[in-house]
Structure 1
């Protein structure tokens, strides 16, 4: 666990650097577009309308899910996904795209995935606030379950940091991995409970899909915003999630520390 401690110390010691680089990343991402940062919200809004029309109107015929309007049920799953998906893809590519710039200076390379996560966090927070307004408009009150939101946010950030640390190293060493990851991420959209209700699937199949940590996170956000249950109701599944994340972080830290000095050899 020494490698994990070393990686985490680098994040804490360079927290100001992480937020500074994230701020520049946000400014530079859309500066060449006429609508600028508005694309951060226009693109997800267009996708939401398409998914709502296809799955909500076309497939379900406008029927609610467990008494919840489909558009709200869909948003609670899609908003975390719009944060998870780009963070994983961009985070996996973060070391490769910047290593040539920082290779000649003493720079903590492990913070690069964190920069990507933080730069996507602002958009995520805004979308969560919009979701809160829509919940009020639709008269949906999560009640005391909203108190567990910090737990699921911590779980989300821990998972993203762990997975991007590992993937950024693999993607730098094996460039084909980035293309494979993009395909797998698109597939995950349909293999997690984001667009459709999995209660209709066989229990055995659902248990297989639950092995994906993203499944735990999406269901957790639905439990929180729709008032469907506490995170500690299923201690076995919660333990599985955290053990998996810690294992991913350990492997990611181990691989990163082993290859970080040779990153330039793979560029």
Structure 2
């Protein structure tokens, strides 16, 4: 716990440095690209269109929220997943990317994953605005529960950062970790009812819903959709909320413990 408090203190003390490095990291993604920031939207938009045509046009999927088009039900589920997966992928390789900072004795390498997280949050902010604009264009009235998007984005960020501390530390010594994370994210996307309705399985096997809820990201997806489409508050799911934060706290502390143990050897390997 003392290590967590020292990390929080370091983040507060170095907040200007973290912000400047995060902005630089965001700009660096598109250096030399002709279309620049446009590429940030291309792949996610194409992905949404593919799932839209497969599930709504092809399979004629009907979303569980009456009067809501499938694409409007899909987007609040897939937007947080794009953010979560991008954070995990970028944080996993951040120590190699900033190896010149890792080798500096005076630099606190614990803030590197935070820098990547904030950079990804900038991208996520754009997608939140697009999601809300799309919701309004489909005739949905604004809801006060939309403010919960900040809470659920924070929850997804803490979960991804906790796992990211573990994966980035291990990746220094085991380079295949980045590929393992990428494959797990591709597979894990289908373990959360993002593109399909959970009723497809729970109607025949009710126990499947419990399996879905054991995945902590189920809480994020359900929260986004509940906030945007149904006007639900997070305290209406007290058991799921407690489970999510208990799981996230354990993962965060475990990830930091591994990071702290391996940290003295980072500069030697890099």
Whether the TM-score (by the shorter chain) exceeds 0.5 is yes
Contact 1:100 1:264 in 2 (8 A): no
| Structure 1 partner of 2:14 | 14
Q: How far apart in 2 are the matches of 1:147 and 1:23?
A: 25
TM superposition score normalised by structure 2: 0.92
| CA-CA distance at 1:116 after TM superposition | 0.9
**Take 1:161 and 1:11, find their aligned partners in 2: how far apart are those partners?**
14
Gaps of 5+ in 1: none
1:230 alignment partner in structure 2:
233
Asked if the contact 2:101/2:107 (under 8 Å) is kept, the reply is no
- The structure 2 residue matched to 1:256, chosen from 254, 259, 268, is 259
**Of 222, 243, 246, which aligns to 1:243?**
246
Q: Structure 2, unaligned stretches of length 5 or more? A: none
Give yes or no for contact 1:165–1:252 (8 Å, CA) kept in 2: yes
Give the match for residue 66 of structure 1: 65
Q: CA deviation at 1:87?
A: 0.8
Structure 2: distance between partners of 1:189 and 1:69: 21
Write the mapping of 1:154-233 to structure 2, written as runs, cut at 5 A.
154-201=154-201, 202-233=205-236
- The C-alpha deviation readout for 1:137-168, integer Å capped at 9, x for no partner, is 11123533224333223212222222212221
* Pair 1:4-2:7 in alignment: no
Partner of 2:122: 122
Q: Which whole-Å CA distance do the structure 2 matches of 1:207 and 1:141 have between them?
A: 32
- Alignment check: 8 A CA contact 2:44 2:82 kept: yes
Tell me, in whole angstroms, the C-alpha distance in 2 between the residues paired with 1:107 and 1:56. 50
Moved more, 190-199 or 155-164: 155-164
Q: CA RMSD in A?
A: 1.7
How much does 1:175 deviate? 1.7
Secondary structure of the residue aligned to 1:48 is helix
Q: How high is the TM-score relative to the length of structure 1?
A: 0.93
Cα distance 1:155–1:17, how it changes in 2: closer, same or farther (>3 A)?
same
CA contact (8 A) 1:18 1:115 kept: yes
Distance in 1 (alpha carbons) for counterparts of 2:210 and 2:61: 28
Matched residue, 2:23: 23
Residue 194 of structure 1, CA deviation: 1.2
CA distance in 1, matches of 2:239, 2:9: 30
Change (3 A) 1:121 1:147: closer
